[in-house]
Amino acid sequence: MTRAGIAASIAALAPGALMLTGCGASSDAASSKGPSSSQASSFDGAYISITDGASGEIAAIDGHEITYIDVPGGDLRCKLTTMALDDIKRRAIVKDGRTDKGQYQVLSTGTINDGRTSVLWNDVNGSDSTGTDPGSGALSISSDMITLGYTFYYSIEQVQLIPVDSGQAKALMAKDCDQHS
């Protein structure tokens, strides 16, 4: 695929990801919905990390539900990022994906509080993937970025993510796809 073709594919997927009305809710997330979680949020959509050490990872927000996805680096990053964004758009996120088998991996799902200042993750920092050991993390949301505080990486205090339809995100994804095509 040519550089222009890859960029066009990414550009086509990114806006659709922000038009989400659902993110493939799991039974854990569905059972912990707040009363207003079914209402559409202006922050619904997909976000990609720009933080060193967590770059390329994705957060999908749907109302009060959040899904945090790990996309491994290297030759598969472009393909797996595209796959994850497409799955978010189709409400078909693969919950049990393993990065060593050519798949992105859901690190955790969670519920955003009504004040949009914290997330109750269904599993502590994604460490046990069972949804039986919940933990909370800080959250900050603005129109151009979300910040997850000290959630999945003990060496990173804040993971910053930008909307996938932003110019900066499109440029990052196109550059990554160009490097690994």
Tokens of 5: 């073709």
pLDDT value at residue 124: 55
Q: CA–CA separation, 11 vs 77, rounded Å?
A: 16
Give the model confidence (pLDDT) of 59-118 as tens digits. Answer: 999 999 999 998 888 888 899 999 999 999 998 998 877 777 788 988 888 899 999 999
pLDDT value at residue 33: 39
- Residue pair 146/59 in contact (Cβ under 8 Å)? The answer is yes
Please give the share of the chain, as a percent, with pLDDT higher than 90.
32
Q: What is the DSSP letter of 173?
A: H
Range name among 7-16, 57-66, 103-112, 128-137 with the lowest pLDDT average? 7-16
The H or E element containing residue 141 is strand 135-142
Range name among 13-22, 42-51, 98-107, 161-170 with the lowest pLDDT average? 13-22
Model confidence at 20, pLDDT cuts 50, 70, 90, reads very low
Q: What is the mean pLDDT of residues 24-28?
A: 37
User: For residue 10, is pLDDT > 90?
Assistant: no
